[in-house]
Every structure is written in C-alpha cells, then in structure tokens.
C-alpha cells in the first residue's frame, strides 16, 4: 500500500471487470452522512489511503466513492429532496453475506461477496460502481415514488430495474466527466 496525504483513495471509476479499467486516485468522500441523500457505509471507516483491491479497506472506500458520486448527482437533479424512505441516512452494507448479488430492501443497500465458479476469483458486488449506483437508484426512486414499491404489476418492477440502470449510467457518466480533469493526468490518454 502506498501512503498518501490522508485524503486520497484509489478507486475504479467503472466496473473493475470492465475491459481496460484501471485504478485512479481521487479525493476521499467527505460529509457522506450529511443531507441531501446521506448515506453511511457500515463498519469502521479505515483512514483514507491508497489501498489495494480485494481488501476490506479498499471495498469500504470504493463503495463510499461510488455512492458519493450518486449523492452528488441526485443532489443537483432533485433539489429540495434527499430523504430516503427509511429516514435521513441510508446504510450500505459492504458484505451482507455470500452471494453474487446486491439489493435495496428499504432498510439498506446490501452488497455481497462470492467466488466466481468460472474464474475462481472473489467478487465483491460493492466494488462495482455500476452495481452500487444501480442499487442506489432503486432507493432514490423509492424515496420519490414510494407507492411503486409494492405495486402488483410486472411493468412497475421492470420500471424499477430500468430506473436503477438509468441511475447507474447517468450518475457514472456525469460525475466521471467532472472527475475526468483530475484523472486524465494519471492516464496515458491524450485528447486532441
């Protein structure tokens, strides 16, 4: 692990299994538990440092960074809102058990770990910003339209899934553009 000044962390901006994705350094999220769209990653927060993937410390900050991107995205697009269905702060459980899954259940965002039988690799669903932002999207939709949660129609469940996908892609794209100016110097990409 490299030491930093205590405010930088290393994260994936996209799914770590994505082709060509690599770690970048970003500022550690601040004020995660402050409204609007406050969240709390369960467990003791490790000091912000440049942790390696596949460690509990990396998972904590990877999940926090992704959810913070979503928090900033929704705060700009839904001014005056920002309280979850369950209350002011949405818990996020980095490892809720063993499974290749993640979900929102009106009590928390729950992420899991499992061994991929094809590759033998340990997979943490909370390491993927795509997954994290998708599940956060379910919670946002539940906050603004709680009547859809128990609707007995397949179309509503499909809409919830589509909204989660939209939320993940929109939040990732918009916040990645703003992060791009800080990230580009760390890559070999030349924009001309």
Q: pLDDT for 120-139, tens place per residue?
A: 999 999 999 999 999 999 99
Q: Does any domain span residue 190?
A: no
Measured distance CA(85)–CA(88) in Å, rounded = 8
What are the two backbone dihedrals, phi and then psi, of residue 125, each rounded to the nearest 5 degrees?
-65, -30
Each residue's pLDDT tens digit in the chain (192 positions)?
444 456 999 999 888 887 667 899 999 999 999 999 999 999 999 999 999 999 999 999 999 999 999 999 999 999 888 999 999 999 999 999 999 999 999 999 999 999 989 999 999 999 999 999 999 999 999 999 999 999 999 999 999 999 999 999 998 888 666 554 554 455 555 544
Please report where in the chains the tokens 């467990």 appear, as a residue.
43
Residue 189 domain-assigned (yes or no): no
| Entry pTM | 0.88
Does a structural domain hold residue 168? yes
- Phi/psi at 134 (nearest 5 deg)? -65, -50
Residue 163 lies in a domain: yes
Residue at 2 is within a domain? no
Range of the domain at 112: 8-184
Q: Residue 191 domain-assigned?
A: no
């Amino acid at each position: 692990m490299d030491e930093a000044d205590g405010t930088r962390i290393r994260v994936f901006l996209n799914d770590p299994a994505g082709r060509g994705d690599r770690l970048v350094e970003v500022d550690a999220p601040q004020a995660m538990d402050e409204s609007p769209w406050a969240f709390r990653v369960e467990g003791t927060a490790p000091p912000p440092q440049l942790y390696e993937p596949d460690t509990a410390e990396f998972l904590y900050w990877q999940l926090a960074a992704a959810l913070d991107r979503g928090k900033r995205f929704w705060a700009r697009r839904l001014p005056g809102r920002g309280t979850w269905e369950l209350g002011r702060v949405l818990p996020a459980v980095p490892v809720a058990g063993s499974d290749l899954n993640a979900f929102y259940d009106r009590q928390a965002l729950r992420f899991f770990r499992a061994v991929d039988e094809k590759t033998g690799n340990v997979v943490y669903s909370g390491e993927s910003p795509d997954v994290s932002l998708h599940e956060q999207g379910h919670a946002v939709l539940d906050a603004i339209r709680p009547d859809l949660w128990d609707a007995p129609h397949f179309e509503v469940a499909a809409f919830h899934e589509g909204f989660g996908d939209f939320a993940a892609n929109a939040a990732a794209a918009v916040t990645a553009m703003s992060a791009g100016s800080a990230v580009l110097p760390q890559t070999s990409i030349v924009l001309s």
